[in-house]
Amino acid sequence: MKFETSPIGDGIAAVRGVGRLNMVSAPALRETVAVALAAGRTRIVIDLSGVDFVDSSGLGALIGCLKSARQLGGDLRIAQPTAQVEMVLQLSNLDRVLKSYGSTEEAYSD
């Protein structure tokens, strides 16, 4: 799984990938977010519309990225999770930590 980053506002980056967010692809997500953070984009939106599967490694990567962003005074939000991803977030109670939004633009519209 390859991740793409695009700026969507001042200090905001949207990260999007297609496929499975699992132990194989989780390191790539962490690296992609780390690059965005190093570039000064401390507010991150992970677009999950193309992610059809997430496992515990993927959840760990999301939480690790959230922690990294917050350590730099930023935040991480998720957008458009698929049904499977939403179910895993609910079962793990991470939907309370990672609030989902309807679009990448909506995530930081406040």
CA distance 12 to 45: 8
In a domain, 110, yes or no: no
The CATH number covering residue 82 comes to: 3.30.750.24
Report the pLDDT value the prediction gives residue 9, as an integer from 0 to 100: 84
In a domain, 88, yes or no: yes
In a domain, 91, yes or no: yes
Domain count, the chain: 1
Helix (H) or strand (E) holding 59: helix 56-71
In a domain, 22, yes or no: yes
Report the pLDDT value the prediction gives residue 110, as an integer from 0 to 100: 67
Show the domain range for 35: 3-99
Residue 13 structure tokens: 């980056």
In a domain, 66, yes or no: yes
Which pLDDT tens digit goes with each residue over 36-60?
999 999 999 999 999 999 999 999 9
Positions of the chain with pLDDT lower than 50, given as ranges: none
Coil, helix or strand at residue 3: strand
C-beta of residue 65 within 8 angstroms of C-beta of residue 29:
yes
Report the pLDDT value the prediction gives residue 99, as an integer from 0 to 100: 86
Q: pTM score, two decimals? A: 0.93
